[in-house]
Amino acid sequence: MRLILGSASPRRKELLAQIGVVPDGTRPADIDETPEKGELPRPYCARMATEKARAVNAAEDELVLCADTTVALGRRILGKPADAGEAAQFLLALSGRRHKVITAVALRLGDRLWERDVVTAVKLKRLSDDEISAYLRSGEWQGKAGGYGIQGMAGAFVPWINGSFSAVVGLPLAETAALLTGAGYPLYGGQR
Ligand SMILES: Cc1cn([C@H]2C[C@H](O)[C@@H](COP(=O)(O)OP(=O)(O)OP(=O)(O)O)O2)c(=O)[nH]c1=O
């Protein structure tokens, strides 16, 4: 069985490599990521991951892996900021508060679809204007849900998380491994 990573995220590829999974191909999915009116963060995130998995072109014997990471501030969905101004707004909104990071993983083989989502609580310390400006200058907010990446400089803004670190970075490894095994993709050097 071949594995196709339906993602343009270098983090997802690295996280898979961390558990010894090397996809046979990478085919990023291009979908409309606009939330529906009134859509809540968790169902939105699950919908994004499954839509990505359906959008990737694959043969019947190709297992497609897609994921979506969404930051939820209460009922509010914070996606990837469009520009530095929006990143600043997100960081100000998150400053000093706890929020949730949801990552949904979807696997598709032909018409069969598996999905799991993982919710992690994250606390961001209260950010000073200097910290926000330095962070915006770093450019690390680009392409990251909520406008921050816990694996980089923003690690200094996070006193605690409750949940899965790998999920916050883009792929919950325990759940991804379980999904892959369940779909018949053997890990740890098993026969494919
Ligand atoms: C909160 C947070 C998000 N992120 C990233 C993970 C995701 O790559 C990104 C959210 O965007 P996504 O839409 O989940 O993914 P993507 O656009 O990067 O890639 P693709 O859809 O092709 O798979 O935010 C971090 O890297 N660190 C963090 O701390």
DSSP label at residue 34: P
> Which token pair is 30?
């291009």
Please tell me if the CB atom of residue 15 comes closer than 6 angstroms to any atom of ligand 1: no
| Confidence band of 186 (pLDDT split at 50, 70, 90) | confident
Q: What digits encode the pLDDT tens for the residues 24-80?
A: 999 999 999 999 999 999 999 999 999 999 999 999 999 999 999 999 999 999 999
d(CA 52, CA 30): 7
The protein residue with its alpha carbon nearest to ligand 1, atom 13, reads 68
How many degrees, rounded to 5, is the angle at CA 180 between CA 113 and CA 21? 130
For 80, 93, 182, the CA distances from 97, given in Å and listed in that order, are 19, 8, 37
- Please pick, among 24, 30, 61, 68, the residue that the annotation labels catalytic: 68
Please tell me if the CB atom of residue 68 comes closer than 6 angstroms to any atom of ligand 1: yes
24 belongs to the catalytic site: no
Q: Residue 65: which of 28, 107, 103, 2 has the closest Cα?
A: 107
Ligand 1 centroid to 134 CA: how many Å?
Answer: 21
Q: What digits encode the pLDDT tens for the residues 66-115?
A: 999 999 999 999 999 999 999 999 999 999 999 999 999 999 999 999 99
d(CA 168, CA 187): 22
Domains defined for the chain, CATH in brackets: 2-182 (3.90.950.10)
Please tell me if the CB atom of residue 174 comes closer than 6 angstroms to any atom of ligand 1: no
Total-model pTM: 0.96
> Percent of the chain having pLDDT more than 70?
98
Counting beta carbons within 10 angstroms of the beta carbon of residue 163, is it exposed (0 to 12), middle (13 to 18) or buried (19 or more)? middle
Q: In residues, how long is the chain?
A: 192
The protein residue with its alpha carbon nearest to ligand 1, atom 2, reads 149
